[in-house]
A and B are shown apart, each in its own frame.
Chain A
């Protein structure tokens, strides 16, 4: 029996062939994982299912009926609902208002408040654990304002909204855990299993293969717009999936370790505290080493970087950068040789509407000008040097940075730090949401930087990555940074346990 069937679906955008032949089937009552690198065609597949894009050829059927929606509403009516990576709730409205958004029960245009309440209540019951007393609801009540809820709760509301439609048969989740802590992720998995057991088909799109192994029943691998493999999760392994995704073995992702010898101390922090987070951070960073910061989402790692870089106020503690003591603004930090790469690439890391060139030289304009004047050509020359050095894939550095793929945008953001010639790199989730090729290049770059005597401090929520490239790792938990551990002999389980505070 088949719930959802893709038969040789293709789609081209101009000269780009996004989907070159997608065929797979998903059964009712199963979690079906879709994995693949960025650009493999997963988002095009989503857009086709949601009705935002029409396929060029091939057929899609839902329970045997052809699925050809013109917009998301028609897709929902046909039983296919999406939960997007960037949550799309209206934060000023209440939970109940969001759940019924677009399908408000009404009579002659007047809202039926009781029906709204009932629909919301029913949908929420599906996604909240049935503990008597309802302690684990996390504040999700129909009347709660969405802006008062944490991201994990918002996600559950979004799922509730998706399944509140009576026709809902296929639920598509796009990177649902990317902003969740592991506790919240575990709760989400319970909800997913509950929905599966009710007979829903769940398409689960994720970069986290360990997660796929844990939650999915079946998988389909996308590579370059083609479905290259499908099968039972029980019969595969993470390494096997990586191999299918990339067409090569997983271990090659991390460049070989070279012996590094750390030099003088360049950053010394004692008992740093911000307004809410961090609570207590002490850390010493030396030239020529890569130090990793692990922790759950919300532990305060990003806030620590922002306080250190002068973006957020400091409540307590001391920071010493080189010979400079005390707090400083971002522009002063840059002149002290500190550079920060933001975790939020689209909103902060790059200015999307500016050109690649403008983004790269943005921090180095003083160096590239005289008396405040410059020739645009010098910028483009300087930028094209970095485009080449970091193999940023573009034909023209004067194009807007938004024309690049995620991984290449990230490389442009890193190029800005290199162009400014900073000595101390604060990198916040440098490889989040980017393809494996770009990841490998970034790892290699970080190792080169350390070899050249730069100091690198990197935040990551992906342990294999930290263990693969760092010299020392510290774990942040509830705003407090633990001691630094040498990487040799360090196990993932130990770090995870420390992060969970167990």
Chain B
């Protein structure tokens, strides 16, 4: 009983419950398709890009910030990597350079926020546009059809790798989520980030180098957006400068559904992944049962409001 109560206190308990309920609902509606392993695997695969970016966004939101440029950064990464593949670079090297560039851009986001003392919302609103423009320029405003050189394997299990159950991209996302959840719980950096998000003035007073923590955090968010970009490229098999428009909103929604607070100091990586998965389930389920696109959008929006409303009510309840 106590263990159950402790479980209910976890920030990701709400989204987990919602996920189970929504899944069961669609399962009852279309039992023959929704229980099939292929549906589950497809949904996992479709969550990878948002999920990976949401891990980074959780850190940023925990820090009390926000990153609106993540969608543009994902698109830019697909373009950079595709260009390199086109020029004959190997898949591993091209992906590495793409991820490195995204990490550097994340660090620049952080540097601008710290250096100019402008709110993250405005800085990343600016870089959102700059990066989108840069992606279009680099791609000559068209899709880059490059040889993927095995990069597409990230998102498929293939005929002779069925022992993997889900594609390597899904495993990578889970691994990254595990690593960064551990960073939050067991490292000085994680503790410092949470302290900055909770009360920046107290953190400064306690000797925490607030600026440095911010730059690191945005760099990590850039790194994860870069990896999400590689996954996106692996799915699309082209570098697309107009891809992932509005992705930042799905990513932020995942984090918020997962218990993150835009006021900072609160956020759960497990919760964010569950939030991302919840949105995929709603999208897939609605398609399966034949609900039109506009109904899906209304449903997703309603889930965000209900989830954050419940969370807010839970916070207000006296201990």
Q: How far is the CB of B179 from chain A (nearest CB, A)?
A: 12
B207: Cβ under 8 A from any A Cβ: yes
CA distance A352 to B188 in the complex (A): 19
In the complex, the answer to whether A376 meets B186 with C-beta atoms within 8 Å is yes
Q: How far is the CB of B262 from chain A (nearest CB, A)?
A: 13
Q: How far is the CB of B115 from chain A (nearest CB, A)?
A: 16
CB-defined contacts of B187 to chain A, threshold 8 Å:
369, 372-374
Proximity bits, A328-356, B CB within 8 Å = 1, else 0: 01110111000010100001111111100
B146: Cβ under 8 A from any A Cβ: no
In the complex, the answer to whether B207 meets A354 with C-beta atoms within 8 Å is no
CB-defined contacts of B202 to chain A, threshold 8 Å:
342, 348-351, 359, 362
Q: How far is the CB of B20 from chain A (nearest CB, A)?
A: 28
In the complex, the answer to whether B206 meets A348 with C-beta atoms within 8 Å is no
In the complex, the answer to whether B195 meets A369 with C-beta atoms within 8 Å is no
Proximity bits, B175-218, A CB within 8 Å = 1, else 0: 00000000001111101101100110111111111000000000
Q: How far is the CB of B311 from chain A (nearest CB, A)?
A: 14
CA distance A347 to B318 in the complex (A): 22
In the complex, the answer to whether B205 meets A311 with C-beta atoms within 8 Å is yes
Q: How far is the CB of B97 from chain A (nearest CB, A)?
A: 27
Q: How far is the CB of A64 from chain B (nearest CB, A)?
A: 35
> Which has the most chain A C-beta neighbours within 10 Å: B187, B191, B208, B266?
B191
CA distance A162 to B16 in the complex (A): 49
* Nearest residue, chain A, Cβ from B188: A365
A380: Cβ under 8 A from any B Cβ: no
A375: Cβ under 8 A from any B Cβ: yes
Q: How far is the CB of B106 from chain A (nearest CB, A)?
A: 20
Interface residue SS majority, chain B: helix
CB-defined contacts of B199 to chain A, threshold 8 Å:
347-348, 350-354
In the complex, the answer to whether A348 meets B195 with C-beta atoms within 8 Å is no
CB-defined contacts of B209 to chain A, threshold 8 Å:
329, 331
Q: How far is the CB of A422 from chain B (nearest CB, A)?
A: 10
CB-defined contacts of B207 to chain A, threshold 8 Å:
330-331, 333-335, 363, 420
CB-defined contacts of A351 to chain B, threshold 8 Å:
195, 198-199, 202-203, 265
B319: Cβ under 8 A from any A Cβ: yes
Q: How far is the CB of B316 from chain A (nearest CB, A)?
A: 13
In the complex, the answer to whether B188 meets A374 with C-beta atoms within 8 Å is yes
In the complex, the answer to whether B201 meets A347 with C-beta atoms within 8 Å is yes
A403: Cβ under 8 A from any B Cβ: yes
* Nearest residue, chain B, Cβ from A368: B188
Partner of A340, one of B191, B194, B195, B205: B205
CA distance A123 to B199 in the complex (A): 38
Partner of B265, one of A330, A353, A369, A375: A353
A169: Cβ under 8 A from any B Cβ: no
In the complex, the answer to whether B186 meets A353 with C-beta atoms within 8 Å is no
CB-defined contacts of B208 to chain A, threshold 8 Å:
331, 362
CB-defined contacts of A289 to chain B, threshold 8 Å:
none
Sample 6 A-B pairs with CB under 8 A, ordered by A number: A14-B318, A342-B205, A347-B199, A362-B202, A365-B188, A373-B186
Q: Sorted from nearest, which 4 A-B pairs have the closest CB atoms?
A: A351-B199, A334-B207, A331-B207, A351-B198
List residues of A whose CB falls within 8 A of some B CB.
13-14, 309, 311, 329-331, 333-335, 340, 342, 347-354, 358-359, 362-363, 365-366, 369, 372-376, 399, 403, 416, 420
